[in-house]
Chain A
Amino acid sequence: MSINKETVKKISKLSRIASNEEFENSMIKDLNSILKFVEQLNELNTSNTEPLSSVVDQKLYQRDDVEKKINEKKDILQNSPVKNENYFVVPKIIE
């Protein structure tokens, strides 16, 4: 499986990273070399192996249903580059 320009464009879109000719070319090169590198995993037969998604061997911690107010609106909005008193502001979304 190898990556071509069309795939790079599609992945860029999915990742919301703007792409141009230069970026696409460098990505094609780099991503293909990484993919080639990881392809060696196919040497292993894992058809009977359970995938491992966590190394933690304990029960999922569950918290009580208690309302906690930890921060104020201004704390949450504080770091936003574009905001008003009440909301985060973003360029218009047209559905």
Chain B
Amino acid sequence: MIGPKFLAAGALAAALGLNAGVALAADTVNIPCVCELSGAGAVAGTNFHDGAHMAVDEINAGGGILGKKIEMTDMDTQTDPMTSRALIQKAIDSGAYAIMGTIYSGSTIVNMMVAEKAGVPQFTGAEAPNITEKHNPFIFRTSSGAEKGVPALTSYFKDHLKVGKIAISWVNNDFGKGGHDVFLAQMKKAGIEVAADVPSEQGQADFSADVSKIKQSGAQAVFVYLNEEEGARFLKEARKQGLTAPLVGEVTLTGQKVIDLAGGAAEGAIAHVGLATSAPVPSIEDFVTKFKKRYGRDTDHNGIKGYIGVYAIKYATELNGKFDRKALADKLHGLTLDAAKYPNMLLTTSWDANGELSRESFITEVKDGKQVVTGTVPAN
């Protein structure tokens, strides 16, 4: 049969014609954005992408980095770890100076090996603890990992709420498991009993069993480590069943999205937030206004991650005075960028030798349908 052979040959020829390289002018620096623009991570990835592009345009308008304009191409990982790995490879092939992305921990843990092998610094939005435990000198976070964020809540539970029994509701994927494991370790250290440990599925809609178990357990507070939509559904079910214990989350529980979705049920929810778009910090307020003006919508912590990641690259490169990937990575280890001197970092930010990020954070609460900052937590 000639037909199928021709077709197969044609496909092969097409494959050979794949052009993975992008010719770049000498006066630009290539920083691709490899992020989740479709699939489960579409919301997070899109916000990250938008924040990053806003930073790129601002920097370019000001002359770029060391006189070179940033060229940021977008690559959609479809929230698939294998695709993300391939795309990071593609980004490296095209001569990336540094890479922005990915956000999902499951993808990042895979693709960062590729960037590490090629010696390209990577700025991720992922929060799972294991990412900075692999001694990868080229990975840098743009927000605190769970192992920094969750302990901040321990003193809140122990000293402020004074609970002896606690329950945890967490989403059973790599993101949720990371937070869950850190939390359990922290509770053990603090001597607080975990009365109910309730995992749930990503995308789960019915939380009646989860809430009822927590009610039964007699827990005096609940640590909620879920994504936005599940968090909203949990809050609604908790309100319906009359769960009175304080509901405390990390990162997402008091976000605007959750408030919109949960309505009145979000009232009184508390969350420890590394980046609060509602923080009464002028630089953050400016950022939120700028973002809204440009994109016509509010953003979340992922937008901030994308934004400061690009600026981190700019500032650290300028401190070096040259475009050198290894030098960039070395510079960032142990670096502190003071927000007073480097305003577009929004908050004073430090990185340690593993790429872990340290920054002041906030305790927030939902009051009258709005996220309100009720306290700050110093960088740890």
The finding on whether chains A and B are genuine partners in a shared complex, rather than unrelated, reads: no
- Residues on A facing B (Cβ under 8 Å): none
